[in-house]
């Protein structure tokens, strides 16, 4: 699409990480003990498509639960966000829940989605720009875990509200989650807010199938990370020699805290070359690809408080599996 064909209310900023960042982080992770791969690199074009498919699976409750909450509480959320706000979304994906918000917000100054998957981000942003012509859409292709200088909307915003749906905060260890929430506080600025999805701690009988579905879509999503490394870093992973593993770990020694762990398990002893470097795998050796922490209500409120936020509103789905929370930055 040429610049002349872009919607008038769309302004794109490309800060996509350099290919060298991907290479360096993959090599560092595979050299670690135990081996690991960065979760954020799941989301190439194929990975983003697979994750959208995961969200529609019967076992994967978080997306349906969060949509349920957002639809039911859209008016209350809009009141908490307030008029003339700039909505900054981290990891925007397909923006299904964002669409509901944009329909209810009071004269938003703009919508600024940030995502590492450029093609997916642009396709979604273009459609939103067409569907919401009165709202300025400011997509930024970037790694939102790194410092970013965000573009200013054409109309000054009364305040910034960061939107972080989908329980992605669970991909951070608690210490890193606290540091990341502090970073969000700096982005939101004085008087800013954070609208966040937080998956609640619950029985493994619900959690484990959500990350190891019967159709094997999550397994394909996990293995796609190796396919991406093969394609972009000249690696020779044999995907048939690795299998997806996901399990719930509730033995973390903290009340109201557990985590799903996702791994890729080597089916046999093998040697893999990545970007010219060799890595040996034992039979049964696992590569960690994702943590997904699950929080009790009090445990997450305490984490938010340590990072400088207070919980203003707390909503759950009817089954009490998932929460959407409005946090306000505390003046210090």
Distance CA 44, CA 49 (A): 9
Greatest C-alpha distance within the chain: 59
Sheet holding 257-266, edge to edge: 242-249, 257-266, 286-295
Distance CA 191, CA 23 (A): 39
pTM of the model as a whole: 0.92
Domains in the chain with CATH codes: 21-46+203-294 (no CATH), 60-200+296-329 (3.40.50.150)
What are the CA-CA distances from residue 86 to residues 95, 158, 240 (Å)? 16, 8, 46
Distance CA 140, CA 12 (A): 6
Distance CA 164, CA 101 (A): 13
* Residue-wise burial string across 18-56, b where 16 or more C-beta atoms lie within 10 A, e elsewhere: eeeebbebbbebbeeeebbbbbbbbbbebbbbbbebbbe
Side-chain half-sphere CA neighbours of 24 within 13 A: 5
Tens-digit pLDDT string for the chain (332 aa): 555 678 999 999 998 877 678 999 999 999 999 999 999 899 898 998 999 899 999 999 999 999 999 999 999 999 999 999 999 999 876 678 999 999 999 999 999 999 888 888 999 999 999 999 999 999 999 989 888 889 999 999 999 999 999 999 999 999 999 999 999 999 999 999 999 999 999 999 999 999 999 999 999 999 999 999 999 999 999 999 999 999 999 989 889 999 999 999 999 999 999 999 999 999 999 999 999 999 999 999 999 999 999 999 999 999 999 999 999 999 77
């Amino acid at each position: 699409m040429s610049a002349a064909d872009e919607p008038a209310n769309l302004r794109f900023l490309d800060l996509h990480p350099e290919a060298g960042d991907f290479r360096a982080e993959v090599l560092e992770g595979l050299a670690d003990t135990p081996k690991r791969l960065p979760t954020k690199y799941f989301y190439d074009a194929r990975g983003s498509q697979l994750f959208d498919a995961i969200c529609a699976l019967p076992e994967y409750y978080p997306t349906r639960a969060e949509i349920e909450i957002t639809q039911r509480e859209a008016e209350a959320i809009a009141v908490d966000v307030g008029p003339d706000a700039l909505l900054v979304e981290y990891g925007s994906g397909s923006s299904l829940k964002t669409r509901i918000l944009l329909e209810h917000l009071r004269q938003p100054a703009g919508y600024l989605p940030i995502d590492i998957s450029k093609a997916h981000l642009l396709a979604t942003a273009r459609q939103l720009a067409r569907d919401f012509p009165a709202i300025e859409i400011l997509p930024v292709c970037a790694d939102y875990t790194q410092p970013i200088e965000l573009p200013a909307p054409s109309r000054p915003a009364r305040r910034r509200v960061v939107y972080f749906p989908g329980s992605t905060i669970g991909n951070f260890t608690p210490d890193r989650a606290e540091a990341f929430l502090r970073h969000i506080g700096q982005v939101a600025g004085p008087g800013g807010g954070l609208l966040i999805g937080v998956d609640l701690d619950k029985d493994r009988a619900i959690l484990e199938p959500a990350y190891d579905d019967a159709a094997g879509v999550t397994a394909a999503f996990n293995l796609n990370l190796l396919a991406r490394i093969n394609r972009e870093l000249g690696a020779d992973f044999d995907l048939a020699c690795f299998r997806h593993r996901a399990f719930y770990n509730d033995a973390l020694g903290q009340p109201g805290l557990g985590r799903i762990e996702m791994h890729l398990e080597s089916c046999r002893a093998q040697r893999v070359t990545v970007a010219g470097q060799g890595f040996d795998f034992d039979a049964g050796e696992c590569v960690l690809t994702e943590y997904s922490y699950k929080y009790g209500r009090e445990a997450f409120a305490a984490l938010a408080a340590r990072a400088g936020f207070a919980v203003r509103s707390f909503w759950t789905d009817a089954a009490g599996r998932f929460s959407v929370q409005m946090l306000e930055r505390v003046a210090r």
